Structures are given as structure tokens and as C-alpha cells.
Amino acid sequence: MLPITPACKKWEKPPCGFAKINFDATVSNEKMGYGMIVRDADGFILGGSGSFKETVINIELAELIAFEESVKVAGDLNISKAVFESYCASLVNKIKRRDGHYYFGAMHG
């Protein structure tokens, strides 16, 4: 059996005038960590952040916290137009409704 080769993901530019914020989270041993990086349309790093928290949490909630912190970083950097990117499909599907509008409330449960 041949090993599965992961697809190479290449960073894609955001639309002109937008920043792109990539965020991610991890959960292990009753702790979570998250981080994000903010780039402009040329790939120049504008900022970023990350942290660890000692808490029992599931990965989707950890990703939500990473997203919320990413929104705060965008505000701190005075970014008014941003594209947020995550590989957590379940979170993305909950945030982005089918009609293309975004929903942010009542996700903490």
C-alpha cells in the first residue's frame, strides 16, 4: 500500500485592499494553543499572535477561540477588511450559512 501524499497548500493572496488572517488551534492534555498570522495582499506580515490556555475543550471550540482572537488582532491592527482562513471545516460551516451571510452568535454553547 502506498502512503497518501498530502496535497500541497499554497498561500493565496486576498482580494486587493484586504488582509488575510490564517488561524489555527490545537488541543492536547487538557490544554489548548492557538495562533494566527496576518498578511497583506503582497504576503507581507502585518502581525500575529498566539497563546496557550489550560482548559478542557474540544477542537471546534478551540478553533472558535482562535477565530475570536484573530478578530481582536485585526481590530488592534486597524484592519477593516479581512479574509479569515481556517482548515476546521465544521467551524467554517457553522459560521458561514448557505446564503453567504455570516453568523457569529451563540456558538459557545
Q: Domains of the chain, with CATH numbers? A: 19-95 (3.30.420.10)
Banded pLDDT at 109 (limits 50, 70, 90): very low
How far apart (Å, rounded) are the C-alpha atoms in residues 14 and 101? Answer: 19
Number of DSSP helices (H) and strands (E) in the chain, helices first: 2, 4
Quick one: DSSP state of residue 107? -
Query: What are the tens digits of pLDDT across the range 64-80?
Result: 899 999 999 999 999 99
**Residues 72 and 52: beta-carbon distance below 8 Å:** no
CB 34 within 8 A of CB 69: yes
